[in-house]
Structure 1
Amino acid sequence: MKRWAICYVSTASPDMEEKDIDNILSYTENWNMDHNITGILLCSEGNFFQVIEGESAIIQELFANIAKDSRHRNLIKIFNKEIKNTTFTGYEAAFLSKQTKNLTQNISYLEYLKYLYPASQNTVKNMLKAFVD
């Protein structure tokens, strides 16, 4: 079975409220765990950052659905590649609000950088820091 990883950033639609984002994060975390998808989804200041990893066909179909979702726009794909092993051990979704930005658990996301393809590390590091700083 081919394993695949896709990482992207996007901007939440302007009409989305915090409760809508909370619902997305909760649904996404449960659905992805039920389908053996690993990765993270972070939302901060109206932006989404997501890494999804799993069986190639499922990941490709999931990303196609994500790309069509009207709840966000300006989707920028950072990488889309075959992987030998997953980087993440599970799936986590977090809303990084002003109250949670300084929690030390969020810094753990930066530890995953060493497993990414070297050409992607700096780009992803800068994006993650914008979410957790």
Structure 2
Amino acid sequence: MFQLVYISKAKKRHTELELAKMMNKFRQRNVANGITGLLLYDGRGTFIQLLEGKKEEVRALFEVISKDPRHERINKLHEQAVPERVFAHWKMGFKCLNSKKVCDDEGFSEFLTQDDKYAFLQSHPEFSVQLLCYFKTC
């Protein structure tokens, strides 16, 4: 089993309806390719996503994502082999973050108050997996 985490910036802010339509398509594609994971959206254009599945399938999906014109500054934060899936029953979990509420949660304000979230995550790559695992339980 293989995991990959990336962060990207949407070229425009998406409405909840737009995101719901996109997630429906993403989930169908992921089921067909045996991929699970979690996608977080901060409501202001930043996405962070963990993908997991067979290494070849995950890397192929990341290549597709990297060429998606809806976003830019797509940066791989972390990838690793893992003994088992963390999101085994999630076709693709999704959470749109209410930054004010989440910033009040102990342990996450340091990340969510950063002006440059990518720079923070690049210097703390293990935090990206921890962050996604936290939201799995919410």
- Please classify the TM superposition score into its range, dividing by the shorter chain length: 0.5 to 0.7
- Equivalent in the alignment of 1:5: 3
Q: Distance in 2 between matches of 1:122 and 1:97?
A: 17
- Equivalent in the alignment of 2:72: 73
Change (3 A) 1:50 1:15: closer
Partner of 2:93, secondary structure, is strand
Partner of 1:26, secondary structure, is helix
Q: Which has the higher strand share?
A: 1
Identity %: 24
Q: Distance in 1 between matches of 2:129 and 2:55?
A: 21
- The one-letter amino acid of 2:67's match is K
Q: Distance in 2 between matches of 1:125 and 1:40?
A: 12
TM-score (normalised: structure 1): 0.66
Residues 16-25 or 47-56, more deviating: 16-25
- The one-letter amino acid of 2:19's match is I
1:1-133 aligned within 5 A: 3-14=1-12, 16-45=14-43, 46-91=45-90, 92-96=92-96, 98=98, 120-125=125-130
- Equivalent in the alignment of 1:107: none
Q: RMSD over aligned Cα, in angstroms?
A: 3.1
Partner of 1:34, secondary structure, is helix
| CA apart distance, 1:58 | 1.0
Q: Distance in 2 between matches of 1:10 and 1:75?
A: 4
| CA apart distance, 1:90 | 2.3
Q: Distance in 2 between matches of 1:50 and 1:88?
A: 12
Change (3 A) 1:59 1:80: same
- The one-letter amino acid of 2:72's match is R
TM-score (normalised: structure 2): 0.64
For structure 2, the residue ranges without an aligned partner over 5 or more in a row are: 103-123
- Indicate conservation of the 8 Å contact 2:6/2:76, yes or no: yes
For structure 1, the residue ranges without an aligned partner over 5 or more in a row are: 103-118
| Number of equivalenced pairs | 112
| CA apart distance, 1:120 | 4.1
Change (3 A) 1:60 1:71: same
Q: Distance in 1 between matches of 2:13 and 2:128?
A: 28
